[in-house]
Amino acid sequence: MSDLQSRLTQIVGAANVITDDFAPYANDWRKKYFGKPLLVVKPGTPEEVAAVVKLCAETKTPIVPQAGNTGLVGGGVPDESGHEVIVSVARMDKVLEVDTINNTMTVEAGCILQTIQEKAAEHGRLFPLSLAAEGSCRIGGNISTNAGGVQVLRYGNTRELVMGLQVVLPSGELWDGLRGLRKDNTGYDLKHLFIGAEGTLGIITAAVIKLFPAPRATQTAFIALESPQKSLELLSHMKGALGDRLTAFELISDFGLSLVTKHFKNLKAPLPQTSPWFVLTDVSDSRDAAALAEEVEVALGEALEKGIIFDCAIAKNETEGKRMWELRENMTESQVHEGRNIKHDVSIPISKMAEFITAADAQLEKAYPGVRPISFGHVGDGNLHYNIAHPLDRFTEESWMKEWEHINLIVHDCVATFNGSISAEHGIGQLKREEIKRYKSPLELRVMRQIKAAIDPQNIMNPGKVI
Ligand code: FAD
Ligand code: MLT
Ligand code: ZN
């Protein structure tokens, strides 16, 4: 046993230092990155995390923070050097406090997102962060990636949902910023540095998160329409008719939907006829369900009359609504079953989304005739998952992967012409670390490096990620 291993064992106990069977920690969800850690350490308290980091700082051992390991950009996966220690917060999975007057919950960083949602519901509250990985991602990871998901339209990104943080700095010092304050103008708001930092500035050990009143009624509708432009018209119409009760608004292409029904035989498209595009939407309210149902029906009826949509199915009950959402939630997994494609997670001003899709489709078709974009995502907040599958006649899945950089260049340059972002919600991790150099200004990159150097002068906290 190495000296480092024996000292880590003294801190967390032998059962919590993993020395083999690294696969669940070392490989990412998409099986794109296969890292080789020195060890995996699983502290049980913030003090243990602090002691582990202090030891790593003393020995200049690089650390990779990890929560649920569902990230899509390789941020929580070690490199192949065999030198990096994964610090997993998975054991720290308790809800510490629910305050229904302050409308906050204090949680350890390893709490599973779904557990938090369920705990909030037990208290008649809502924690609105919602994404398909919610059964396995953990709040420390959600905060570190500033996760988005399907309800950003109404409640904002994770950044808007975090009120306080407790963080172990790369020095091993424990910063206790676990405050549940709605107002606090006492200088730089440090928590925002750690939100979305993808583990490069410290290890989040606990958080105070914001709760909302639980909605009493939700109406889910699956809508057929002609084009992304029509989806923007529908978005504007629905916002006008229903205001901030519009909670989710997801665009799905016909091809994207067909992959879900192909690979999940138990799931059926809610509408009988085919359509090039669909929208899945939720409208929720803390008042009467019958009144909401009527308002949604009227709004969609008007959209039909105005020729914005072809057809729609409104879920008659919660079960039907859930079935509609299962189609959306299984989109990522259905693409895994179909075979590898080239993923993009882009942000575009909402009003320009349709123009972007037309422009990017045309540029790709010119470069690769027969290319098959799988477009879907959170169009209500300007976030498109624009995944590109290979033309069937000239490429195989393997030869298509060699085009990765060129396709990225076409898509991301197109994003830049719309003043968009090459990562809307998944982050930079390892996947886009080189690419951001092309799209962020030298000034932005310099300030980011200065912040990193100020907080982590030894560069031990998730080195090689983000910058
Ligand atoms: P991990 O993967 O463990 O880590 C993610 C990053 O955070 C890494 O850089 C890691 O080093 C760092 N980190 C983890 N824990 C800590 C900590 N305690 N302190 C400091 N740094 C830490 N993302 C979205 O935004 N929206 C979606 O709709 C969405 N849908 C998804 C659907 C599927 C099927 C899958 C597989 C993923 C999806 N994701 C989505 C991506 C992923 O689930 C999110 O990025 C999630 O927030 C990651 O949480 P995690 O606990 O798995 O973090
Ligand atoms: C989603 O919205 O389903 C995710 O962000 C995952 C993906 O991009 O595949
Ligand atoms: Zn998404």
| Integer angstrom CA distances of residue 346 from 10, 47, 174, 250, 357 | 45, 38, 35, 14, 11
333-344 per-position pLDDT tens digit: 999 999 899 999
Cα(231) to centroid(ligand 2), Å: 19
Q: Which ligand is nearest to the CA of 327?
A: 2
pTM: 0.98
What is the distance between the alpha carbons of residues 103 and 94, in angstroms, rounded to a whole number? 18
Secondary structure string (H, E, C) spanning 337-373: HHCCCECCEEECCHHHHHHHHHHHHHHHHHHCCCCEE
Expressed in angstroms and rounded, the spacing between residue 247 Cα and the centre of ligand 3 is 15
pLDDT at 23: 94
Burial 69-81 (b: 16+ CB within 10 A, else e): bbbbbbbbbbbee
pLDDT of residue 1: 79
Please identify, by atom number, the ligand 1 atom nearest to the C-alpha of residue 138.
51
Confidence at residue 13, expressed as pLDDT on a 0 to 100 scale: 98
331 lines ligand 2 (CB under 6 A): yes
Q: Ligand 1 center to residue 26 CA distance, Å? A: 14
Task: Tell me what pLDDT residue 60 has.
Answer: 98
Burial letters for 117-144: b for 16+ Cβ neighbours within 10 Å, e otherwise?
bebbeeeebbbbbbbbbbeebbbbbbbb
Distance 200 CA to ligand 1 centre (A): 14
Ligand 2 atom 7 nearest Cα: 332
Task: Pick the residue whose CA is nearest to atom 4 on ligand 2.
Answer: 332
What is the per-residue pLDDT across 411-434, written as a single tens digit (0 to 9) for each?
999 999 999 999 999 999 999 999
pLDDT tens per residue across all 467 residues of the chain = 799 999 999 999 999 999 999 999 999 999 999 999 999 999 999 999 999 999 999 999 999 999 999 999 999 999 999 999 999 999 999 999 999 999 999 999 999 999 999 999 999 999 999 999 999 999 999 999 999 999 999 999 999 999 999 999 999 999 999 999 999 999 999 999 999 999 999 999 999 999 999 999 999 999 999 999 999 999 999 999 999 999 999 999 999 999 999 999 999 999 988 999 999 999 999 888 899 999 999 999 999 999 999 999 999 999 999 999 999 999 999 999 998 999 999 999 999 999 999 999 999 999 999 999 999 999 999 999 999 999 999 899 999 999 999 999 999 999 999 999 999 999 999 999 999 999 999 999 999 999 999 999 999 999 999 99
* Residue of 436, 458, 431 lying closest to 446 (CA atoms): 436
Neighbours of 426 (CB within 10 A): 22
Q: Which residue is it, tokens 């950044």?
A: 159
- Ligand 1 atom, smallest distance to 465 CA: 9
